[in-house]
Chain A
Amino acid sequence: MDRRHPTREQIARLVLSPDAADRALRAHLEECSTCARLAASIKRSADLLAEARLSSVPRELAEQTLLGLMHQLSEKAAGQSAGAPSTEDRPGAYERLTGSLREVWAALVADSLQTHAAPCRSGTPPPRMLLFETEELAITISLCPGEGADRRDIKGQVVPKEGTGLPRDGLVLAVQGDQQWQSPVSAFGEFRLEAIGAGADDVSILLGDTRVRLRLPA
């Protein structure tokens, strides 16, 4: 037996590319327990790492879960600041997160294109007015240029077409790639998102067990 121990790299090469290993090295490993243990350790690490590239989560599921978690966190924060019951005690929060969000797309039914008479703020052009509808809700949105390049502000209101009540703790989210902006929905259905990316055209309104989605026009 060759008493000169192979280098760590030689052992790793044997483990990682067994075909490339020479006979003398194999013979050494069969008789040297120290090197054999090192080879086994390196092999175990490499094998586990090779299997650790797990499949990614379907994008839709990942996004829906993130939305739900953010909603959950905002409810928790709102509950703490208002001295309300904890999230766990509120009915429906869990259902809203775990897959029971009913997704409804709101259709664009009116677009001023030409800007509204009242300006957003002094020195800026008037807002563009949009009206979206679902079977149950009407959503008005005004779009203004926001502070900073490629930014815009959204002011909006969501109201039920029948009755007066909206579910508590509504939340509005706008998404652009990895960025997300959010706003609570007030008791009057109002919300406001400021300086959102101009490309953040995917807007979700979480109301009760419903996620109302709408696509802002370019």
Chain B
Amino acid sequence: MTREQLVAGLKAGEESAWRLFIQDYGRMIYAVATRLGLAGPERDDLFQEACLSVLESIHTLRHPRRLASWVYIVTYRLGIDAIRRRRPEAPVEDWAVLLESNPTAVIEPTALGDLERLEEIAQVLDCLAEMDQRCRSLLQALYLEEPRPTYEEISRHQGIPMGSIGPTRARCLEKLGNLLQDLSGEGAKPSSRRRGHPLSEAGVPPRVSRRRGRSGHDG
């Protein structure tokens, strides 16, 4: 299933698409929650909240090929809200200023680095989805499939002679690097976004109203 087909299925409410989304993109959501320092019920809560937010705002996703980055941002934003709810006494304005001026006051410094790396991973997954089918499936087989296939299996499944796997991988990694560079050129570099408010960027879904009896969530 291509990225466009998946997003079309999500928008149409197809169960198979949502199952695939949770299986593949749920990992990104779960990783964001974990790297934000959430655990146990708080992490599960954020996971479900992010999935619900995706469901309610998938129709606003303008670029299906940015799905992973979009999911990252949706989850990151909700995660920050979850952390903020721990300190309900802090005024929303102060919180926003704090997050912008000194994010390590909100997020552990090491976690901040991990999150930036995760955002880059989301970008590489988006770029992977843009690649031609041959490169995409080879890199997926080499780096993402579980359990990791052997070269013999890759050769058989991809229809690539064993001796061509290395050169093809090198070519595909170069292409992927170029796509990543193009993406950075579009101004989507994680570090540049982190300084501003990552949540106000165009294409990010509107906040979904919540009814959990918690104040200040939608600020």
Chain A partners chain B: yes
Measuring CB to CB, which residues of chain A are less than 8 angstroms from any residue of chain B? 7-9, 11-13, 38, 41-42, 44-46, 48-57, 61-62, 64-66, 68-70, 72-73, 76-77, 88, 91, 94-95, 97-99, 178, 180
Q: How long is the Cα–Cα vector from A12 to B22 in the complex, in angstroms?
A: 33
Is A70 in contact with B143, judged by CB distance below 8 angstroms?
Answer: no
Contact A91:B211 (CB < 8 A) given known A41-B181, A97-B52: yes
Is B173 in contact with A52, judged by CB distance below 8 angstroms?
Answer: no
Chain A nearest Cβ from B3, distance in angstroms = 15
Chain B nearest Cβ from A113, distance in angstroms = 33
Is A180 in contact with B15, judged by CB distance below 8 angstroms?
Answer: yes
Which residues of chain B are within 8 angstroms of A178 by Cβ–Cβ distance? 19
Which residues of chain B are within 8 angstroms of A49 by Cβ–Cβ distance? 124, 128, 139, 142-144, 173, 176
7 nearest A-B pairs in the assembled complex, by CB-CB distance: A41-B177, A12-B170, A54-B27, A49-B143, A48-B124, A45-B176, A57-B26
Contact A98:B52 (CB < 8 A) given known A9-B170, A42-B174: yes
Which residues of chain B are within 8 angstroms of A54 by Cβ–Cβ distance? 27-28, 30-31, 121
Is A52 in contact with B174, judged by CB distance below 8 angstroms?
Answer: no
Contact A72:B52 (CB < 8 A) given known A45-B176, A61-B47, A95-B211: yes
Which residues of chain A are within 8 angstroms of B124 by Cβ–Cβ distance? 45, 48-49, 52
Q: How long is the Cα–Cα vector from A24 to B159 in the complex, in angstroms?
A: 34
Measuring CB to CB, which residues of chain B are less than 8 angstroms from any residue of chain A? 13, 15, 18-19, 22-23, 26-31, 34, 41, 44-45, 47-49, 51-52, 55-56, 117, 120-121, 123-125, 128, 139, 142-144, 146, 166-167, 169-171, 173-174, 176-178, 180-181, 208-212
Main secondary structure of the interface of A (DSSP, over half): helix
Main secondary structure of the interface of B (DSSP, over half): helix
Is A53 in contact with B143, judged by CB distance below 8 angstroms?
Answer: yes
| Nearest CB in chain A to that of B32: its residue | A54
Chain A nearest Cβ from B36, distance in angstroms = 14
Q: How long is the Cα–Cα vector from A178 to B123 in the complex, in angstroms?
A: 29
Which residues of chain A are within 8 angstroms of B41 by Cβ–Cβ distance? 99
Chain A nearest Cβ from B118, distance in angstroms = 8
Chain A nearest Cβ from B157, distance in angstroms = 18
Chain B nearest Cβ from A49, distance in angstroms = 4
Is B121 in contact with A56, judged by CB distance below 8 angstroms?
Answer: no
Partner of A55, one of B15, B31, B51, B180: B31
Contact A57:B167 (CB < 8 A) given known A49-B143, A66-B22: no
Is B49 in contact with A44, judged by CB distance below 8 angstroms?
Answer: no
Which residues of chain B are within 8 angstroms of A88 by Cβ–Cβ distance? 56, 208-209
Which residues of chain B are within 8 angstroms of A64 by Cβ–Cβ distance? 48
Instruction: Please list 6 pairs of residues, one from A and one from B, whose beta carbons are closer than 8 Å in the complex, sorted by A's number.
Output: A41-B174, A42-B177, A54-B27, A57-B30, A68-B48, A99-B45
| Nearest CB in chain A to that of B43: its residue | A61
Is B22 in contact with A65, judged by CB distance below 8 angstroms?
Answer: yes
Chain B nearest Cβ from A197, distance in angstroms = 15
Chain A nearest Cβ from B120, distance in angstroms = 6
Q: How long is the Cα–Cα vector from A52 to B69 in the complex, in angstroms?
A: 13
Q: How long is the Cα–Cα vector from A42 to B168 in the complex, in angstroms?
A: 12
Contact A55:B170 (CB < 8 A) given known A94-B52, A94-B211: no
Is A57 in contact with B52, judged by CB distance below 8 angstroms?
Answer: no
Most buried by A among B30, B170, B208: B170
Partner of B22, one of A7, A45, A57, A98: A57
Which residues of chain A are within 8 angstroms of B177 by Cβ–Cβ distance? 41-42, 44-45
Is B18 in contact with A69, judged by CB distance below 8 angstroms?
Answer: yes
Q: How long is the Cα–Cα vector from A51 to B94 in the complex, in angstroms?
A: 35
Is B146 in contact with A53, judged by CB distance below 8 angstroms?
Answer: yes
Which residues of chain A are within 8 angstroms of B180 by Cβ–Cβ distance? 41, 44-45, 48
Q: How long is the Cα–Cα vector from A41 to B171 in the complex, in angstroms?
A: 11
Which residues of chain B are within 8 angstroms of A65 by Cβ–Cβ distance? 22, 26, 47-48, 51
Is B52 in contact with A62, judged by CB distance below 8 angstroms?
Answer: no
Q: How long is the Cα–Cα vector from A49 to B144 in the complex, in angstroms?
A: 7
Chain A nearest Cβ from B167, distance in angstroms = 5
